[in-house]
A and B are shown apart, each in its own frame.
Chain A
Amino acid sequence: MIAGLDVGSRSVELVVVDAAGRVVLARRVPTTFHPLRQVAAVLDGAAPEAIVATGYGRDLVAGAGLDVPVTTLTEIKAHAAGARRLFPGARTVVDVGGQDTKAIRLGEGGRVLRFEMNDRCAAGTGKFLEHLAGVFQIPVEDFGAYALRGARAVPIGSMCTVFAETEAVSLMAGGAPPEDIALGLHAAIAARTAGMVRRVGLEPPVVFTGGVARNPCMVRLLARELGLDPLVPEDPDHCGALGAALEGLARANGAPDARGATAPGAGG
């Protein structure tokens, strides 16, 4: 039994697969400011033989001294592998997580051909939606459905979370219907995300993963921007952890370990 552990900025996901690659366990806990405690909690009773850690906390897990061998994998390859498993024909993957957005182009056999990520700023990610849902005093889970009630998207110029909030507040003060403003905020993210997808060379089928893929407004707007319906997994948050677990299985079966090569004086 091999575990994939995706330690993201928002949540920690665990997926355990058996020797045949079947998912035997999937769990999710919030990351909080004590990620290692949450890792211990999510692993409680799972007892895998090996762990592949991914997400921004991957090195933290690898260095935590767990009594199970831990190797690491980047989110890019993890999401590619997970999406490929869920939708074997997948050619493009869009993942919108807590603080990262990534677009990945896949080639033959699920090989990563190209990828793009947002830079150090979390504009247009789950964090952006979460913050603005707070401004609307709506739980982030309901923000998409709320935005879908908007009749016409109010154009939002700013992608900086702080500026976007200022802009939304000004628009409300100007009398724009809040649902229209919410729709406009979603549209701004969808346009930015679609741009990233086009830059890696959009090719269907497109898989939409990450927590933001649960937002029905984002799915609809991204479909409109891309001119096609993205495939959304039943459990879009677990895609990275699934990919990591499958990579772990491949490594256990002797596949070359991408992180096994020693760099000159690798220190960090």
Chain B
Amino acid sequence: MSDHKRMWEKLNLDIEAHDGLLEVLGKFYGDIYMSQDNRLKGMEYMDFVLSEVHGLRIKELQDAKAAGRKVVGTFCVFVPEELTLAAGAVQVGLCAGAEVGSARAEDLVPRGTCALIKSFIGFKLSRLCPYIESCDMIVGETTCDGKKKAYEAFAAHAPLYVMEVPQTKSAAARALWRAEIVRFKERLEELTGKAITVDALKAAMKTVNARRRVLQRLNALRAADPAPISGRDALLINQISFYDDPERFTAKIGELCDELEARVARGQGVAPAGTPRLLLSGCPMAVPNWKLPYVVESSGAVIVGEESCIGTRNTRDLVDETPETMDGLLDALAERYMKIDCACFTPNDERMDNVAALAASQKADGVIHYALMFCQPYAHEAMKLGHTLADKGVPMLALETDYSMEDVEQLKTRVEAFVEMVS
């Protein structure tokens, strides 16, 4: 551990506060994860990765940097990892799932800002995230007003680059996004001093698609009754997919899926057949935001899918790997990323259809819509989604919460009542 400590000191972390954070995180993980019964053997890898979330993985990033590679941090599934990898850089999703330094964050952003934005600013200002401190470039995106204005303030504290995500899917918007992809490619080439070649980009597309495919496979296995894996574990796998080495991760999840397949074939699950099955839908849940999944799975239900950026929104669509020219590959990238059904788009009717389809394919008895407090786009869509699902006879519970623990009892009452309702 002393090696880690030296590394954290070099990264200029607030060592004392960071020790405190790791202790809380460890306890929280123990309560929420290690208490589960019938856990998969394959989850040991996840337990290990999480226990070394600020340790070995950061060491790997430092080693990569020492070997001349650059580290790119992101907050959003719109940033095309294929380009980052093709430029020989490493891409990591940055943690924004803990209530850390929110009082300090309010020096930079208004109080009525969502917990996710306050969290990444709080992590930076409190010097608690070794990922942020390892980044040579952090990529923001204009998905919502809260984020795009927060990046203006954040730019004074971190090496920030912002991609413009359009708000509609018109032809002009698609052209804008295609131009943003080119601009990002050029910025990466400038950062790494390396030209992105057709071959490197095709290889990167294969790597990222392979990770999407293995997560698709995991999700398909969750359609089984009894559910073979808990929603908490599946969420953790999705969370870890954002910062683990992509090829190693894909191999490990492949093994876990083999184990799941055998379990499904034996008719085994983490909860008895007939346990109410719920789909989570809405805002992303970044590490260590496990509050709602824990409440749900402590209330007699099992979660069978996550319609979220840390879930199917990130894995549903593959990139077409077949074009042989740079222009063709960039077209394919632009097209794939414009399929993302983020609530920042207007209209965004495809999300309604996608949630309904996912609820059906996962054989969900109901949907819990999760919106972060002050997240206008998802709060609006919760109302719309409620009507869409009601028409299809799928019950939905809309919840609005943040990262604090003060409303756990209120959430429990709603979730338990919803479980009673769909049972």
Name A's B-contacting residues (CB within 8 A).
56, 73-77, 100, 111-115, 117, 119-120, 256, 258-268
State the CA gap A115–B416 with chains docked (Å). Answer: 12
What A residues does B232 contact at CB under 8 A? Answer: 264
Closest chain B residue to A79, Cβ basis: B417
B2 close to chain A: CB less than 8 A: no
Judging by beta carbons under 8 Å apart, are B420 and A76 in contact? yes
B325 close to chain A: CB less than 8 A: no
Judging by beta carbons under 8 Å apart, are A261 and B271 in contact? yes
* Contact size range, B: 35 or more
Given contacts A259-B300, A264-B227, A264-B297, list 15 more A-B pairs with CB under 8 A. Answer: A56-B413, A75-B413, A76-B420, A113-B395, A117-B413, A258-B419, A258-B420, A259-B416, A260-B300, A261-B271, A262-B272, A262-B275, A265-B230, A266-B297, A267-B31
State the CA gap A262–B274 with chains docked (Å). Answer: 10
Judging by beta carbons under 8 Å apart, are A264 and B37 in contact? yes
With A120-B407, A266-B298 known as contacts, the answer to whether A261 contacts B421 (CB < 8 A) is no
**Nearest chain A CB to B43 CB, angstrom units:** 12
What B residues does A115 contact at CB under 8 A? Answer: 417, 421
State the CA gap A253–B272 with chains docked (Å). Answer: 23
Judging by beta carbons under 8 Å apart, are A119 and B270 in contact? no
B423 close to chain A: CB less than 8 A: yes
Name B's A-contacting residues (CB within 8 A).
31-32, 35-39, 227, 230, 232, 270-272, 274-276, 294, 297-302, 395, 400, 406-407, 409-410, 413-414, 416-417, 419-421, 423
Judging by beta carbons under 8 Å apart, are B423 and A261 in contact? yes
**Nearest chain B CB to A252 CB, angstrom units:** 18
With A74-B413, A112-B417, A264-B37 known as contacts, the answer to whether A256 contacts B423 (CB < 8 A) is yes
What A residues does B420 contact at CB under 8 A? Answer: 73-74, 76-77, 112, 258-259
What A residues does B271 contact at CB under 8 A? Answer: 261-264
With A261-B275, A263-B271, A266-B297 known as contacts, the answer to whether A77 contacts B35 (CB < 8 A) is no
Closest chain A residue to B34, Cβ basis: A265
With A264-B37, A264-B302 known as contacts, the answer to whether A120 contacts B421 (CB < 8 A) is no
What A residues does B227 contact at CB under 8 A? Answer: 264
State the CA gap A215–B302 with chains docked (Å). Answer: 41
State the CA gap A114–B398 with chains docked (Å). Answer: 11
Closest chain A residue to B421, Cβ basis: A112
What A residues does B31 contact at CB under 8 A? Answer: 267
